[in-house]
Chain A
């Protein structure tokens, strides 16, 4: 409105309105532009969001009620049968077990280690950059390539890990230490190391009892640096005066200082780190596909791998779609939980 008015008024010669750029014709052009440009700018993004992110969710929802397979013309609406199978068949109960164990170990493991590393590095006087670099390396490295390296390192006969253990068996002091000979009331023959020296060390990835723990270990190995960096950022945002105030109030030991000051102030960081680590570990696929393919005997059959196996390898799209929907529900629940905690004002500032 004001613009339109301005063009009708006799403008003083020096005013910008007198310049040709602000002639009524160009103003009109500009107004038309003002109406269409925003959508020219946002349009492509909106279009792609719909096609690439929203349509697939709806498609997965629809297909999850069918027995669709790629290349098969006939498919039927089968109601909740796919979901029923997922919640009753033993291979899927193994899927949930493996997924929850994986997430349940990697999330707390990488968070506690990340926090400890951040706290330790933060209070160093020298070498902070050095450790930060090293701990962050696995985050950068191509995970599937590093998984293959771990596989070789864990190789039962030539891998460096078992070779190291075997060599340590004949080193007196070291073997006593590793076999926990020094811990009272522990029979050194039954500890992992003592047992391994007597009967051989495990075939890590080929054994049902060790495959999942090994994958969890690699998952933690990869995620620690990421969480460490997030915590270091969180620690720098704790106001220094709080520590001084706590000190004046008689909080002197590092232990109580941590629980009374640092930990509560890390609230928002905690919520964020937990959510993002959980969502990432729910999605872990690379190490599993490269090293165990869900085996042995489905002990590492996590959701993303199940999705891939059902949908791509076995062409059971309907079933894979049902897993997709369950997966998305988990992700949404996690995010809702995050929102809930953030709104409850986890930050005490």
Chain B
């Protein structure tokens, strides 16, 4: 290192960074801890991190079951059971996966050929198309949410998967990124493929796409994280049909209708929604940081 720092300085840095880390981790730890606890433990903050796990009575179950003993459950189990079985959370997760995956695949199908054309083909209007890409990079899709909502309403698409996906089918950023990447691919590779009699279509998907895998992975992470976590857009276009809720809408809905006894299941829901991204991040950290900060690497 440049500044070969003294031990006291190193310790001071660790203390500061640990203090920051504690604040950053606080809501995560609190969320997981509450998701394990019984209602009374949440209210008086007892039971340590994991709660005492003294079996508790499931009220809903006790109405129908013959024997109360059948309805005794460990609080942690009870909370996750409530979150997953008695709420449509699996449905929300499914919607989240469908929407995020569709968005990503359509983005690639649309952006990759366009990026190839911009990088490797000479055609009338190319500069104009690229100027348009550069202009559209400035437009935040959320900001034009109201006119988009209106257009979707006019063609009767509100409350549909299509409404959740359509505005994101075009990723100008994806085009830009892929174009920059394809510029670095040598022309010889494309020429050789043409010599072999490949059609331009085959060149895009069989020659260019494989060379772009690292960029595609980074873009995938960028896109998937953004749309899995997106709240604004689903909030706007899904107004009535709860079957179309994505996980962020789902937890918001759950939070709206709860009484004080359900903080455990609520936090279990939050944990389940947050965990896929966090685990994926922990497994492939470097790729994730690369992907998320992609827009910073222009």
Chain A positions within 8 Å of B, measured between CB atoms, are 16, 21, 33-35, 37-42, 44-46, 48-49, 52-57, 59-60, 63, 70, 113, 117, 120-121, 123-125, 127, 129, 131-146, 148-153, 158, 160, 163, 221, 224-226, 229-230, 233, 240, 243, 254, 257, 272-273, 276, 279, 283, 285-286, 289-290, 304, 307-308, 311-312, 317, 320-321, 324, 327-328, 331-332, 335
Contacts and interface: CB of A to CB of B under 8 A. Distances in A.
A266 B148 CA distance: 38
A312 B113 contact: no
B277 A142 contact: yes
A124 B293 contact: no
Nearest to B23: A221
- Tell me whether chain B's interface is mostly helix, strand or loop, or mixed: helix
B9 to A, nearest CB: 8
B270 interface: yes
Contacts of B139: 53, 57, 328, 331
Contact of B143 (A16, A132, A151, A331): A331
B132 A286 contact: no
Contacts of A139: 292
A233 B267 CA distance: 35
Interface in B110-138: 110-111, 113-114, 116-118, 121-123, 125-126, 129, 132-133, 136, 138
A142 to B, nearest CB: 5
B147 A143 contact: no
B251 A148 contact: yes
Nearest to B234: A144
A49 B136 contact: yes
Nearest to B130: A42
A276 B294 CA distance: 12
Interface string B168-185: 011010010000000000
B172 A41 contact: no
A135 B293 contact: no
A128 B102 CA distance: 36
5 contacts: A41-B200, A143-B229, A221-B23, A230-B293, A327-B143
Contacts of A39: 117, 123, 125
B140 A133 contact: no
A134 B281 CA distance: 11
Interface residues of B, number: 100
B45 interface: yes
B75 interface: no
Given A52-B166, A286-B232, A290-B255, A44 B144 contact: no
Contact of A124 (B13, B143, B282): B13
B248 A145 contact: yes
B284 to A, nearest CB: 11
B273 interface: yes
B167 A52 contact: yes
B263 interface: yes
Contacts of A48: 110, 169-170
Given A41-B114, A53-B144, A285-B232, 18 more contacts: A41-B113, A41-B116, A49-B170, A54-B136, A57-B139, A121-B17, A142-B270, A148-B252, A149-B27, A149-B30, A152-B267, A158-B43, A158-B45, A229-B289, A233-B293, A254-B3, A321-B147, A328-B143
Nearest to A21: B197
A131 B145 contact: no
Nearest to B237: A312
Nearest to A128: B17
Contacts of B267: 149, 152
A120 B13 contact: yes
B215 to A, nearest CB: 17
Contacts of A142: 228-229, 231, 247-248, 251, 270, 273-274, 277
B27 A134 contact: no
Contacts of B31: 146, 149
B34 interface: yes
B81 interface: no
Contacts of A146: 27-28, 31, 270, 274
Nearest to B16: A120
